[in-house]
Structure 1
Amino acid sequence: MSGVGPIRQDWEPVMIRKKAPTAAARKDEKAVNAARRAGAEVETVKKYNAGSNKPASSTTSLNTKKLDEDTENLAHEHVPTELKKAIMKARMEKKLSQAQLAQMINEKPQVIQEYESGKAIPNQQIISKLERALDAKLRRKK
């Protein structure tokens, strides 16, 4: 093998990034770094569920707030007996199954089943959808 020199490999490191940071993120990062260099105290907060597409449920947060404030009775509010009976009666009068009613109000059949069994946490938006779909007044004034 004459004329062949030693084998040489010329490897250079390659950096792979998923996504370049946005202009706003770079600007924020520069401001934080400048503050740190100046000796200022910097507090950063991790935003949980910031990238998720789920809306924050207002009902859940209200019930959570009630539970936090309540010191004696630590239980979520459930569907009152009168409401669950009214839903069942109105649904039977319309000759609808739970699945058909759920489809009419764009909810899962499990939601209707939970309301009729009294296990659901009352949500005024769902109750108003049920009232419209069943053409019945389900809520009573206390």
Structure 2
Amino acid sequence: MAGIGPLTQDWEPVVIRKKAPTAAAKKDEKVVNAARRAGAEIESIKKSNAGTNRAASSSTSLNTRKLDEDTENLARKKYDRVPTELKKAIMQARMDKKLTQAQLAQMINEKPQIIQEYESGKAIPNQQIIGKLERALGAKLRGKK
């Protein structure tokens, strides 16, 4: 080991610097200033969103506003709720089978809250769920009896 010399690195340090403004940008600025000194009338246009993502976010805010308005309108609209006959039919068939709302919900693979909403009349009727309820309860819940 005595014959090996000191370890050295052959690496050169790399320094990364931000580029200076281009000559064209400086030249444009000089030309404009010279024209101003000469008394020429200069019309300049300010780019309000240059170099930013603000244009994209402003269109997003428009979409967000529309979505908020639609959501408010949905809350105001009166949608078809579970009819009284269906509410009573579900409740009666469940009671006849001696099932709780949670047990019925488990039978049809839905949350107990769904059954509660149907029986209270707050749910918007879904034909698939009504079909599951009919099969689980063995009773006809929709259509003419």
TM-score w.r.t. length of structure 1: 0.49
Q: Which has the larger radius of gyration?
A: 2
**Which structure is higher in helix share?**
2
TM-score w.r.t. length of structure 2: 0.48
